[in-house]
Chains A and B, each alone.
Chain A
């Protein structure tokens, strides 16, 4: 008989309001030990507020959070000790060197002497900054700062590492380095909660994802299940001129399409079978030579799941 996995984080009906505006509207989810959990959503979906409540920085209006079995609000210190936090901002002291930054945060978590040195060396290795330990952070590149930011979150060996959009503003090479680091951490047993609006990152890294939109959890499952159940292909079409009503009607009658966005010369169509849908559409366009400017096919993925659920893209 399979044992039930142990939940590291349990969030129950979590709410947050600022005045009349409710930014997190009763979300519920669990993160299990060793899991790489992604919290996806466009800007303003409530990701950062949710992270704020999980780390004790934002006081919830209602609901409950359990970290490693501890009720966060009854035992905040024990709960916080189990968490590592990597905020979206660098949250480093630029005039100090990497080692001093790490030593400072290590002491905040109660690490001393030999253990402190040992952990500093370990996390510098994990993020590949050992050779830059004595370098002032102000001289670091964006990517190096992001890596050190992660190292600080790991310094006390937390049970769960919470990362709020840790790859924002970094180049592709540094992004890959960061993602590899996170994959390595997960393989070594660290539980991760990861927020992003980069769909490809979530697809690459996460065992399960929760999709937030306007403060609500609108989907929660493994990426594969979500794509299988909710994912549809998307065809983006751009015309050289505004499509007339006849053309739009004809497109609407193509059984394999669903028009989900219609803006002047742009059309966005949702389909279960992109190959068939594109073929039918191109047949239609044969009679209107020169009308089609571009055609962009997106195979079913988390982005199309989000579009299917909300009618918007994650980066809208």
Chain B
């Protein structure tokens, strides 16, 4: 019995060994995952740490010395990297918004005009004019990361304001007659110490204001402002794209089976062109992809109240996405000569490209070179297209670049596939 087991083992080893490409993929696949996922997830584990600071665009619109001091304070925070210039020129609000729209950065901090004057003036003479700090962010930015970064920025600025207004408040607390002290502070009160602390914490409360600085959260002009993406809006498009590319395995396996069973040969012996055969063979998978996308979006809309945005734009992106997925499927069918090769290549492409393209980890928290790499995946462009429509509220014209790139990927995949494809 042992000999039989050994014989079977040796035979199987030989079979595996003879399919070198599949063997190579078997080793290459986990290695790829380790590399891609480790680099991609660096963002998750290290974003906002000393090694990987979060990049924040800073615009000082004549905010005065206090704004400059706050910027200096923020620069000392190692978890943040402040960017004040672009191309050697100080950033303007318009330029910063353009950079966010382009997807180069996720967050901008702008100190409004007269920031310092409004902070330092006597609150009783402020007549309701408040210093303003704008936090402009891409609506598609991860909400948890954004919240923590904003928290750090806000607390740093408030600390700077507190320090700057301290002398004035001290004067208010000790230098003025008791009758002039706001907030009804009674010097004879035994609890004066506690009340003093309260003034230091928020000296303007007594004037009926909530704060002398207003933090305005906004999206860049052109993006639908004020709404943050929900988990559904983030996940539905990402996992739809992820799922769409699983057609690669189904499609490539089907082609391989037809080759192996000889049905391709039989069909080609009929009066039918190879082009007609390929189109007929691909069309159902293309339709399956479109139905798949429709169903997944329907789940988002029906179960999670997702707003799909401008439907024609979603359809255009979806059609281009399905074309790219089908093209990749045909390419795998052309490259894979055995079932093992087709399986490994399909899984390799489906998972690696998804990870690289920001389906599992948002691209904006990836290291720089991974962000660049993600642009070489159809996934990233499809996700950008869907985010443009669903989260940023953009229309058909705005998703044309992403659609164009997706169609470019599709053309590239189809060209490679047709170059390598054999019907026998």
A positions within 8 Å CB-CB of B? 55-57, 76-78, 80-81, 83, 85, 87-94, 105, 108-110, 152
Contacts and interface: CB of A to CB of B under 8 A. Distances in A.
B271 A91 contact: no
6 contacts: A76-B271, A87-B266, A91-B262, A91-B263, A105-B266, A152-B266
A109 B266 contact: no
Interface string B256-270: 000001110111111
A109 B271 contact: yes
Residues of B in contact with A, size category: 10 to 19
B13 interface: no
Nearest to A101: B263
A14 B355 CA distance: 53
Interface in B227-275: 261-263, 265-272
Contacts of A152: 266
B68 interface: no
A227 to B, nearest CB: 33
B99 to A, nearest CB: 54
Given A56-B269, A81-B271, A105-B266, A89 B261 contact: yes
Given A91-B266, A108-B272, 19 more contacts: A55-B269, A57-B269, A76-B271, A77-B271, A78-B271, A80-B269, A80-B271, A80-B272, A83-B269, A87-B265, A87-B266, A88-B262, A89-B262, A89-B265, A91-B265, A92-B263, A93-B263, A105-B267, A109-B270
A252 to B, nearest CB: 46
Nearest to B264: A91
Contacts of B269: 55-57, 80, 83, 85, 87
B264 to A, nearest CB: 9
Contacts of B261: 89-94
A105 B270 contact: yes
- Sorted from nearest, which 10 A-B pairs have the closest CB atoms? A89-B262, A91-B262, A85-B269, A77-B271, A91-B266, A55-B269, A80-B271, A81-B271, A108-B270, A91-B263
Majority SS at the chain A contact face = loop
A91 B265 CA distance: 8
Contacts of A105: 266-267, 270
A87 B262 CA distance: 8
A133 B260 CA distance: 24
Nearest to A51: B269
B73 interface: no
B268 A57 contact: yes
Q: Which of B262, B263, B266 has the most CB of A within 10 A?
A: B266
A196 B261 CA distance: 20
B266 A85 contact: yes
B270 A57 contact: no
B256 to A, nearest CB: 14
B339 to A, nearest CB: 16
A97 to B, nearest CB: 15
B424 interface: yes
Contacts of A78: 271
Contacts of B267: 105, 108
B253 to A, nearest CB: 13
A57 B111 CA distance: 73
Contacts of A91: 261-263, 265-266
A87 to B, nearest CB: 5
A94 B262 CA distance: 12
Contacts of B265: 57, 87, 89, 91
Contacts of B263: 91-93
Nearest to A109: B270
Contacts of A85: 266, 269-270
Interface string B265-299: 11111111000000000000000000000000000
Nearest to A80: B271
Contacts of A81: 271
A109 B267 CA distance: 9
Contacts of B268: 56-57
B270 A80 contact: yes
Contacts of A89: 261-262, 265
A55 B270 CA distance: 8
Contacts of A80: 269-272
B299 to A, nearest CB: 29
Contacts of A57: 265, 268-269, 424
A94 B261 CA distance: 10
Contacts of A56: 268-269
A89 B262 CA distance: 6
Contacts of A90: 261-262
A90 B265 CA distance: 11
A230 to B, nearest CB: 34
B266 to A, nearest CB: 4
Nearest to B260: A89
Contacts of B424: 57
A55 B262 CA distance: 13
Contacts of A92: 261, 263
Nearest to A81: B271
Nearest to B277: A108
B368 to A, nearest CB: 49
A15 B272 CA distance: 24
B180 to A, nearest CB: 92
A85 B269 CA distance: 7
Contacts of B262: 87-91
B130 to A, nearest CB: 71
A81 B271 CA distance: 6
Contacts of A110: 271
B162 to A, nearest CB: 74
A246 B424 CA distance: 55
A73 to B, nearest CB: 14
Nearest to B424: A57
Contacts of A108: 267, 270, 272
Nearest to A110: B271
Nearest to A94: B261
B269 to A, nearest CB: 4
Contacts of A88: 262
